[in-house]
Amino acid sequence: EISIYYKLLPGIFLIIPGLLEQRGNIASSFAQRIGSAVHLGIVDWSKKFNDEMIENLKAVIIMAFLNAIVLAIGAYLLATLKQIPSITIIGYFLFAIITTSIAILMAPVTIIISLYFHRKGIDPDNVVIPILSSLNDIFVVCIIITVLRLMLWLSNFIPIV
């Protein structure tokens, strides 16, 4: 229903910049760690998912979900304080967690891009972050649009609005 859509949007606009920034910051730090690991020989094509890489992936996942929870709470509090028509706290949590869950799929892409450029003799530190920033922005915006549509559907079953 169109009225629910308009009620969702103002609150969602509060959380979108944070989600985009979160992905950029986490992906950049992860790419730097991968770049360093590639230079040190800790990571290469033969040992893509060694213990070091698994620990880094765990850290990325934990940081992403903690940030998503903080963003959801912050957006809800801001919307409540400013009396912005918005979704419920459950809606914010669902939106942030679902978006973050899908966005985490970019972590293996980071590893592959880093290893690819290293194999080609190009320093991953110089090219991976700009490429990932662009890919993450495009990917996360597509995810946000998809999750927004999902939230509209879920509002029929869960008190989101």
- Side-chain-facing half-sphere of 101: CA atoms under 13 Å: 8
The per-residue pLDDT for range 74-120, each reduced to its tens digit, is 999 999 999 887 888 888 998 899 888 888 888 888 888 888 998 89
C-alpha 28/C-alpha 21 separation (Å) is 10
C-alpha 77/C-alpha 89 separation (Å) is 9
pTM as predicted: 0.81
The per-residue pLDDT for range 24-63, each reduced to its tens digit, is 788 888 888 888 888 888 877 776 677 888 888 899 899 9
Residues 6+ apart with CB under 8 A from 31: 110, 114, 124, 128, 129, 132
C-alpha 22/C-alpha 147 separation (Å) is 17
